[in-house]
Amino acid sequence: MAQLKSSLKNMLISLTVIPLIAAAALGGVYQMTKEPIELAQKEKQNSAIKEVLKDKTAKIGKEVEITLDGKPFPYIIFPAQKDGKLVGAAIQTYTMDGYAGRIDVMVGVDAEGTISNYTILSSGETPGLGSKLADWFKTERNNQSINGKNPEKNKFSVKKDGGDFDAITASTISSRAFLGSIQSAFDAFKKYKEQK
């Protein structure tokens, strides 16, 4: 194969054609994977909703977005009803204050706002430390579990800050962020109930 002569024209052709081919290939891959990724995310969300709700037989209503002052993204409320009455909700909450940035959580509450369960949807927290969020605040030991607690009656912050819960050892930043996200979820749920 003959080598192309180095000229301005050949360099411009190369710098135009190669990125266009790469962009077309990336666009094609994106289109092929977009729908399966969205379906997987929706399935993960549905599974999380079922996991966190106390009443597994309740009917999940249409999702409602609630915005809170000073928060960049809305909270998503999935109201749960039984016999036409609100029995709780699953709330997709988040915090931007994790040690490694954003943490997304699905938390379940009953009609009064008492926490029934939670699951971590996504987190980039440090493996072995902040990643313990998935189980730490469910453990019935000392002052760890948030299940059965209500943010109106309990202070959802770490003991170091005057709160009611033990932080994950060597992971206070992640613990603060997580508990703050649960408090925000409760605040969003309270606002949802006021708007009903």
**pLDDT tens readout for residues 68-98:** 999 999 999 999 999 999 999 999 999 999 9
Choose between 142 and 185: higher pLDDT.
185
Tokens of 186: 């409760």
Between CA 188 and CA 165 the distance in angstroms is 21
- Region 142-165: what's the mean pLDDT? 95
Share the mean pLDDT of the chain: 92
Greatest alpha-carbon span in the chain = 79
Q: Where are the domains of the chain?
A: 51-195
CA dihedral 185, 155, 127, 109 (to 10 degrees): -40
Portion of the chain with pLDDT greater than 90, in percent: 68
